Chain A
Amino acid sequence: MRKVFNTELLSIAQRDPRIFMILADIGYGEIEPFAQAFPDRYFNCGVAEQAMTGIACGVAMEGNIAITYSIANFPTLRCLEQIRNDVCYHNANVKIVIIGGGMAYGPLGISHHSTEDLAIMRALPNLVVVAPCDFAEARAAVHAMIAHEGPVYYRCGYKKEPAVHDGPIDFRFGKALTVRDGRDATIIFTGTIGYNCKLAAEQLAADGVQCRLISLHTVKPIDKDAILHAAKETGAIVTVEEHNAMGGMGGAVAEVLMDAGGLGVRTRRLALPDVNVCKVGSQDWLREQYGLGVPHIVKAVKELLAG
């Protein structure tokens, strides 16, 4: 997915001279084409995420679009106050891009996982929070990110995420995408865990349970209508995210339902337990270990319906 991101960004930057990449010494093997094509719009700050974010903000304050880009939580948590005070408070046109959302960098360990980002980023005013699930969404989200005036947090995947959507998509920030329809229950996911959800929905369908599958790629601003329709039309909602259980997408969905009075809908959240992920393994293996495997999703839906 990071290749998709970089390829798309490069093609947009050919036409849009406002785009700068402001990096912190991360992106080997991916960012070189941009650096070569636009040496006057490519700056490596060294391993200095706070300066990267502040500098990007200064660049953006001058009418440009500045992209910060790094691994997992390096360009978010390390420089959170720069994002809050500099970027979000000034509504600066900075796009914060992480590579390896969730546990994509699996065996590298917790320092390279991004599993609190949705909660923390969505608490910041002015910031759009987006987590594409597959290449199609990733590509469309780059265009949406550049077209949007103001800060965006883009939670990119890593390498070979399989497709979730079968056909073309009409991607817009704040508008969830229905991957498949169903009336028995709804599975809402965000990000690349969507593929496990898709497999789970297929398995459930084979067992006679028709799930509506929703990609909530934009966690903020959240698509309230999609959530409320799912609540009214299917009566059961399971959220799935590769993120700590605290305050993430599932929490955001719960907020929408609570503000709507609860609607009597049956709900279940699948997320990472509130522990430090210390097992060593690939992203897929870690997902299984921490309750985000396909069987976990199937089981959660069945249990919810058995209620």
Chain B
Amino acid sequence: MMAPERMQSYREMAKKVRAHCLRMTHRGKSGHVGSMLSMADLLAVLYLGILRVNPKQPRWPDRDRFVLSKGHGGAAVYAVLAETGFFPKEWLDTYYLDNGKLSGHISHHVPGVEFSTGSLGHGLPVAVGMALAARQAGKKHRVFCLLSDGDCNEGSTWEAIAFAAQHHFDNLTVIVDYNRVQALGKMEDVIEMEPFARKLEDFRWAVQEIDGHDYVQIETALNHLPFVPGKPSWLLARTTKGKGVSWMENTVACHYGAVNDEQLAKALKELEVEQ
């Protein structure tokens, strides 16, 4: 595929993911839509351009492992999995509902989902274990873990950070959806992580900081893994919480609030999605 076409496919996928998330959380009257919109572009590039996965064979042994540690954003992963053929798109209509196929937090009972999370700080240790096992077995697949800001408050995340560097797991990549907003406030008012990149460098990871909505930057970074041989890679992807819906962007409110009928229509219009 030519580069401009690929960029266009990323853009379209991200738009679809955002629209699905708005509709799903609207229908389910559920929260976390801001967290989903925030990582839609990252997921589009990952699933269309980076991850070696096979929708026809979700448990293919040589697949790249993708662990979503910010399980509350699971609907965005469900959306991209449905769009890439892991399960029927109709399942998305059952999200959060009685007898639904898809739970509010990401679940390994869904084809294509590697691991269930929901409580923060769980994804990275597990991803590190997967990287350990892959290296020990001489396997070539890679392990990716997507973290939220809140994930980086958890001590267990830092325990895993130290361990991964100690053992030079360069088959492991962390992507932080660095929107700087968490459940009750902005990071500067809750737990400031800056200088974030330097913290990780001091922990002996190889770090890159990018605009997490810029497809060229995302793709370029993830096409050059590991950033440094012998080190795990940390991609600090600066994002905007609620990205794509003007009144949600950069707000704390969009972490929990669901959209009503009127807001849904308005949001889809802003995203230029047909209704």
Q: Give the B-binding residues of A (Cβ under 8 A).
A: 20, 22, 40-41, 43, 45-46, 48, 50-51, 53-64, 66, 81-82, 85-86, 89-90
Contacts and interface: CB of A to CB of B under 8 A. Distances in A.
Given A43-B167, A90-B108, A90-B116, A62 B122 contact: no
Which of A51, A57, A61, A86: most chain B CB closer than 10 A? A51
B136 A50 contact: no
Which of B108, B119, B133, B155: most chain A CB closer than 10 A? B133
Contacts of A22: 129
Contacts of B117: 85
Contacts of B155: 50
B36 to A, nearest CB: 21
Which of B119, B127, B136: most chain A CB closer than 10 A? B136
A85 B125 contact: no
Interface in B92-127: 108, 115-119, 121-122, 124-127
Contacts of B160: 51, 54-55
Given A45-B163, A51-B159, 12 more contacts: A46-B162, A50-B155, A54-B125, A55-B132, A56-B129, A57-B125, A58-B133, A59-B130, A82-B156, A86-B115, A86-B122, A86-B125
Which of B131, B136, B159: most chain A CB closer than 10 A? B159
Contact of B128 (A51, A60, A64): A51
A3 B163 CA distance: 28
17 contacts: A20-B136, A22-B129, A40-B136, A43-B132, A48-B156, A50-B121, A51-B163, A54-B124, A55-B129, A58-B128, A58-B131, A59-B133, A62-B130, A62-B137, A64-B133, A85-B117, A86-B122
B159 A45 contact: yes
Contacts of B162: 46, 48
B129 A58 contact: yes
Contacts of A82: 122, 125, 156
B134 interface: yes
Range of interface residues on B (Cβ < 8 Å) = 20 to 34
A66 B132 CA distance: 12
Which of A63, A64, A82, A86: most chain B CB closer than 10 A? A86
A48 B164 CA distance: 13
Contacts of B121: 50
A25 to B, nearest CB: 12
A48 B115 contact: no
B163 A55 contact: yes
Contacts of B128: 51, 54-55, 58
Contacts of B129: 22, 54-62, 66
